Amino acid sequence: MSDEANDNGAEEYITVVIAGQLFGLPILEVQDVFMPETITSVPLAANEIEGVLNLRGRIVTAINMRRRLGVEAAKQGQEIMAVGIEYKEESYGLIIDDVGEVLKLDMKNFEVNPTNLDPKWADVSAGVFRLEKELLVVLDVVKVLDIIHSQAA
Amino acid sequence: MDDLLSEFLTETVESLDVVDVELVKFEKDPNNQDILGNIFRLVHTIKGTCGFLGLPRLEALAHAGETLMGKYRDGAPVTTDGVTIILKSLDAIKDILAELAENEVEPQGNDDGLIAQLHVLSEGKTLDDANGVAASAPAKVEEAAAPVSDDGERDDSSAIKIVERELKPGEVTLDDLEAAFNSAPGPEDEAEAAAEPEAAAAPEPAAPKAADEGNLKRDKALQPQSIRVNVDTLEQLMTMVSELVLTRNQLLEILRRQDDNEFKVPLQRLSNVTAELQEGVMKTRMQPIGNAWQKLPRIIRDLSNDLDKKIDLEMIGAETELDRQVLEMIKDPLTHMVRNSADHGLETTAERIKAGKSEVGKVKLSAYHEGGHIIIEISDDGRGLNTPKIKEKILKNKLATPDELSKMTENQIHKFVFAAGFSTADVVTSVSGRGVGMDVVRTNIELIGGNVDLVSITGKGSTFKIKIPLTLAIVSALIVGIDDHRYAIPQLAVVELVRAHGDSEHRIEKINNSRVLRLRNKLLPLVRLSDILELETPAPVIEEDEDGNVIPIDTSLDENGFIVVIQVGPQTFGIVVDKVYDTEEIVVKPKSSLLRNIDMFSGNTILGDGSVIMIIDPNGMASQISNDVGSDSTEDEENEQSDKDKFANQTTSLLLFKAGTDEPKAVPLSLVTRLEEISVSDIEPSAGRDLVQYRGQLMPLLYMEGHEKMKESGRQPVLVFSDDDRSMGLVVDEILDIIDTNLNIEINVPQPGVLGSALIRGQATEIMDVGYYLPQAFDDWFERREQGESFRQKRLLLVDDSAFFRNMLSPVLSAAGYDVVTAIDPIEALKLLRDDPSLFDIVVSDIEMPNMDGFEFAETLNRDDKLKQLPIVALSSHISPGAIERGREVGFYDYVAKFDREGLVTALKETLETEGEAA
């Protein structure tokens, strides 16, 4: 990630909210933000996989971030959003609650994961930014997508 | 031209073009090792290939050139002379190639002079040094080099001056020539050298004059007829086309929901163009199967020597084309099977003589297309499979119990050679072969969605039949549903569709917890798709009886499901689903790597309505349930069926059903839009007819002539026929099956609603006349059509030799507002037309007809001054871009698939409108 940082040691993040917590995704890793329409569930798939959907002719695998983080499911009828990610020529959509603004964050406010972080969270988190009012957890996209591996572990 | 030769030419010409460019660089920078290396490699390749193809002249020249370049590559100083001579030899090579392209043989003559020069240079001498020894050797070079080279590249080097001077006719004396020949260090034959000078000197002098002409000719002859395209580019193109097909499907889906839309006509055209594009791109991926067969003759020859058997390998249909990707995948299994046939299938010569057979054993390999699939057969006239030994092996490997074995047919037993575990090493020796890696062969073939079958007759030989899809990218799939979830099952694996019914003969029964179905006196093991996919079963339906007591109903036995009968290798089983939707052409997209661990799905696809569905992998499913599935209930019939298929040139998919009587009835599947089940309680009688709400509209329900009876309660199967936005439902008792058959209708007693009878599976079956029912469903059928289009009723002449199509299409066309007259062939049609040319507004003609085909018919019309103006639309069951092109040439206005009713109606309307504007 550091190689993507610009001169003054700051990096841009798209902020998203999952179960009340603020998360950040490196902006260069995010393709687009969309509202998923019909998601086809995939039987036998890992619990975290919400299903597959058609995004402009591409088949996108949707990952339910609440389940990925092991937090309770969203309320019925709550509007959901998705962040589109491209990884190894495949398309993924991270299903989240809401998308916020783009923040330019200074690396001097960055810290590694606190040691007492829930293992499920520590598994997908690349570290934490101390913002003025709250904390922002940086999602490591590669680790988020490594569902099969983390299941086995 | 020989394939090999033409490939060589294309390849070499391409290489030489590269060399040309490289040489220009080389001339400027003669010491650049990279450039030299490049040129060296190309010339080396040419030399190698020439030797292989038996082109001695080219080979000798390339060899000499290579030697010199090799020296340079190894560090010898590069001289201008050297470069010039290399350029010259390359030009000579080009000339020979040009000649080759034209005459398929190397031109007469030789290049000894050039070769001599090359040798002199490679020995490290300069041409001047060599003058003493071979002063005139270079001189005769150009003379001897047959069609002679391009002289544009000469420079002022002394050697070239010599060449130039000597080139002038008459300056070469016989003595000089003789001296040259004798001293030239080439592989020259003395006698020939002595005999040839005159011949070489006499006819050749004209050559320089002809050089320019030769250049022109050469350029023309060597214009490549094919180009090489990177496979990745093709793959990408294919992906894009797949996307286009998807988008097209989506557009058509949207259009279907709207009435009279201005987009209709352009979309129809887009649809046609897309289909052609798809076919075109697919074609670029196609390769003749012969490419996978190339090594076989050699393998058979070696085997024949090793085993001391006389073997004759016959290969039929090598030109049959299939997808590159598929070809790669079947290459090894095919080789394996042919080797097996020769090795284990055929007896030794002694055994053959003893058995009264011809000494030479025969292995026959044939390939042909059959309805979107390619069939490859490998047969031998050997001893056939050794049934007792296979039985022994089955028992030893505990693949079946003795009891089960005793009930199996020989054919069923033979199929065990495909079973895993039959390929252990000792099988190779103990069973008379065939076991060797057959399960691997099967797995490989199934991996590409194909299947393999075998028939063996003791003492007569065995035949393996491989059925594989033409391409992997687009497959035809059956869309099935459970609750609201839809899944696609590749059509290739689907043997038949059975409607299960609590009270019909097709009843799902249970043994302990395993479901089975009695199907033609055999038990078919069943699995529920919802179970195997671990879908949550819906809560039991609660119903109240008359007294208000709650009766929980056990839905776990789903008495009313559809059973998709699947065959995977030797396994046959049924998958129970709730609903069966359409058959759709789907574009297979690989599943996400996150889902790769799920064997049950082979990929996913986007349907016409834009939703994503998973494609079920029959192989994965088979391996999952193999514990409880082992028997094989439909294969005998399958064999019978496929044998019939082989001889049938054209098959039609028919939906078999029962209505009223016990005799099965049939309707072409392509006419049926959907199979639906409606709840009897939803049926609303209105104004003397029954209606039901269907997709937001009222759909009239019709009954087969003479069987106006609805079920008392429960669910009623209905065949839905749609035309534009209107649908009608035909009430039937039971949907039996979908089969592919060679439809041969015998028209008999005219009976309303029935086209005629055909023999289907040995049973007389009534073929239903959909056209009869369509106007019944809508009294306003005709008026509706005319409201929007205020033209007078057009008179249409329908020419088709098949009574079936005449009868099927006339009502459709009448319904679309035309006054239809039919003719059984172009002869009759011409008579009608010539009697009164003004009588008809448009002609619709079949293409394949006896006496005079559609193309000829169109040409005849075009030649007739009075009939020239008459628009004519072609109707054919075989639509290929070639046929469409030919159709346009002979004057067809449009070209429509036989079962594409919508397309036909649109095409007619469009044609008449264009005509109207033109007039």
Give the DSSP per-residue string, B421-474. Answer: TS--HHHHHHS-SS-TTHHHHHHHHHHTT-EEEEEEETTTEEEEEEEEES-SSE
- What was the pLDDT predicted at B699? 82
3-state secondary structure (DSSP) of residue B163? helix
CA–CA separation, B800 vs B823, rounded Å? 7
- What does pLDDT average to over chain B? 72
Bridge partner residues of B722 (DSSP): B727
Substitution target from B247, B595, B601 for chain A, most A beta carbons within 10 A: B595
Query: Of B250, B535, B591, B592, which to mutate for an interface test with A (greatest number of A Cβ within 10 Å)?
Result: B592
With H, G, I as helix, E, B as strand and everything else as coil, classify residue A74. coil
Q: Is the pLDDT of residue B467 over 70?
A: yes
Q: Nearest 5°: phi and psi at B911? A: -60, -45
Q: Work out the angle between the directed axes of helices B264-284 and B881-890 (0-180°, nearest 10).
A: 120
Task: Nearest chain A residue to B246 by CA: give it.
Answer: A57
Least confident of B247-261, B696-710, B856-870: B696-710
Two tokens, residue B286 = 């196609």
Chain A residue numbers touching B251 (CB-CB < 8 A): none
At residue B255, the pLDDT reads 82
> Residue B521: how many CB atoms within 10 A of its CB?
6
CB-based contacts of B725, cutoff 8 Å, min separation 6: B257, B259, B697
The residues in A 36-95 lying below 8 A from B, measured between CB atoms, are 38, 40-46, 49, 51-54, 57, 59, 61, 63, 88, 90, 92
Distances (CA, A) of B779 to B672, B697, B804, B815, B910: 21, 16, 25, 11, 26
> CA dist B670 to B652, B784, B873, Å?
9, 24, 21
Residue among B518, B505, B524, B529 at smallest CA distance from B573: B524
Does A18 reach chain B within 8 Å, measured CB to CB? no
Q: Within an 8 Å CB–CB cutoff, is residue B838 touching chain A?
A: no
B910 with B894: CB under 8 angstroms?
Answer: yes
Inspect the interface and report whether the beta carbons of B589 and A59 lie closer than 8 Å: yes
C-beta atoms of A40 and B612 within 8 A: yes
Q: Is the dihedral of CA B14, B17, B23, B25 positive or negative?
A: negative
Q: Answer whether A145 touches B (CB < 8 Å).
A: yes
**Would the CB atoms of A92 and B535 count as touching at under 8 Å?**
no
| Tens of pLDDT, residues B655-664 | 888 887 777 8
Coarse DSSP helix, strand, coil percentages of chain B, rounded to the nearest 5 percent: 45, 25, 30
Chain B contact for A119 (CB, 8 A cutoff): no
Q: Residue A26: pLDDT band by 50, 70, 90 thresholds?
A: very high
- Give the model's pLDDT for residue B225: 67
Residue with tokens 């996150």, as numbered in its chain: B594
Q: What is the Cα–Cα distance from B842 to B796, expressed in whole angstroms?
A: 5
Contacts of A54 in chain B (CB under 8 A): 606, 610-612
Which is more confident, B19 or B525? Answer: B525
Residues B594, A46: C-beta atoms closer than 8 Å: yes
Residue B307 sits at φ, ψ, to 5 deg, of -95, -5
Q: Does B610 touch chain A (CB under 8 A)?
A: yes
CA dihedral of B18, B19, B24, B29, whole degrees rounded to 10: 110
- The answer to whether residue B275 scores a pLDDT higher than 60 is yes
SS3 state at B897: strand
Per the CB < 8 Å rule, is B589 touching A45? no
| Span B625-642, pLDDT tens digits | 764 433 333 333 333 333
The winner for highest mean pLDDT among B26-40, B457-471, B538-552, B895-909 is B457-471
Is the CB of B594 less than 8 angstroms away from the CB of A59?
no
Domains contained in chain A, CATH given = 2-152 (2.40.50.180)
d(CA B466, CA B246): 30
The partner residue sitting opposite A57, judged by closest CB among B247, B593, B594, is B247
CA atoms of B313 and B342, how far apart (whole Å):
9
Interface contact flag, A44 B485, Cβ < 8 Å: no
Tell whether B246 is within 8 A of chain A (Cβ).
yes
DSSP code at position B730 = E
Number of H helices, E strands in chain A: 4, 11
Alpha-carbon gap, residue B441 to B422, rounded angstroms: 12
Q: Do A148 and B614 touch (CB under 8 A)?
A: no
Return the residue in A38, A44, A145 with the most chain B beta carbons within 10 A, the one to mutate for interface testing: A44
pLDDT per residue as tens digits for the range B211-255: 445 455 555 555 556 777 787 888 788 778 877 887 887 788 788
**A87 neighbourhood in chain B, CB within 8 Å:** none
Q: Where does the pLDDT of residue A63 fall: very low under 50, low under 70, confident under 90, or very high at 90 and above?
A: very high
Given CB atoms, is B134 within the 8 Å cutoff of chain A? no
Q: Is the dihedral of CA B843, B848, B852, B857 positive or negative?
A: positive
A90, B534: Cβ pair inside 8 Å? Answer: no
In the block, residue with structure tokens 């000494």: B359
The complex scores an ipTM of 0.85
**How far is it, in rounded angstroms, from Cα B225 to Cα B592?**
40
Quick check: A61 and B535 CB within 8 A? no
Residues in chain B: 919
Distance of CA B514 to the CA centre of its chain: 39
Q: In this model, does residue B918 exceed pLDDT 90? A: no
| The pLDDT of residue B170 is above 60 | no
B598 contacts on A by Cβ (under 8 Å): 42, 44-45
pTM over 0.90: no
Say how far apart CA B496 and CA B567 lie, in whole Å.
Answer: 9
CA distance B476 to B102: 45
Tell me if B595 sits within 8 A of A92, measured CB to CB: no
For residues B416 and B409, is the Cβ–Cβ distance under 8 A?
no
Strand blocks (E) in B213-344: 286-288, 311-316, 321-323
Q: Which residues in chain B are contacts of A62 at CB distance < 8 A?
A: none
CB atoms B534 and A49 under 8 Å: no
Using pLDDT thresholds of 50, 70 and 90, give the confidence band for residue B589: confident
Q: Per the CB < 8 Å rule, is A49 touching B533?
A: no
Nearest to B764 by CA among B776, B749, B752: B749
Query: Shortest CB distance from B611 goes to which of A54, A90, A148?
Result: A54
pLDDT band at B545 (very low <50, low <70, confident <90, very high): low
Q: What share of chain A is helix, strand, coil (3-state, %, to 5)?
A: 20, 45, 35
Least confident of A122-131, B249-258, B325-334, B756-765: B756-765
Q: Which residue of A has its CA nearest to B588?
A: A59
Burial class (CB in 10 A: 0-12, 13-18, 19+), B821: middle
**For residue B230, how many other CB atoms are within 10 A of its CB?**
8
Task: Answer yes or no: is pLDDT of B478 > 80.
Answer: yes
Task: Tell me the shortest Cα–Cα distance from A19 to chain B, in angstroms.
Answer: 24
* Residue B319, pLDDT above cutoff 90: no
Of B243, B597, B612, the CB nearest to A52: B612
| Rounded Cα–Cα distance for residues B795 and B870 (Å) | 11
pLDDT at position B144 is 40
Asked if B365 and B337 touch (Cβ cutoff 8 Å), the reply is no
Closest Cβ–Cβ partner in B246, B593, B614 for A42: B614
Going across the sheet that includes A81-87, the strands are: A30-34, A81-87, A90-96, A58-64, A49-55
A49/B604 touch (CB, cutoff 8 Å), yes or no: no
The residues, ordered by sequence, that sit 6+ positions from B141 with a Cβ below 8 Å of its Cβ are B88, B111, B112, B113, B114, B116, B117, B163
Q: Counting beta carbons within 10 angstroms of the beta carbon of residue B788, is it exposed (0 to 12), middle (13 to 18) or buried (19 or more)? A: exposed
Residue type, B554: D
Pairing of strands A81-87, A49-55: unpaired
Q: Are B247 and A145 an interchain contact pair (Cβ–Cβ within 8 Å)? A: no
Range from B53-62, B414-423, B836-845 that averages highest in pLDDT:
B836-845
The pLDDT > 70 percentage for chain B reads 72
CB contact under 8 A, B594 and A49: yes
* B139 vs B158: CA distance, rounded Å: 12
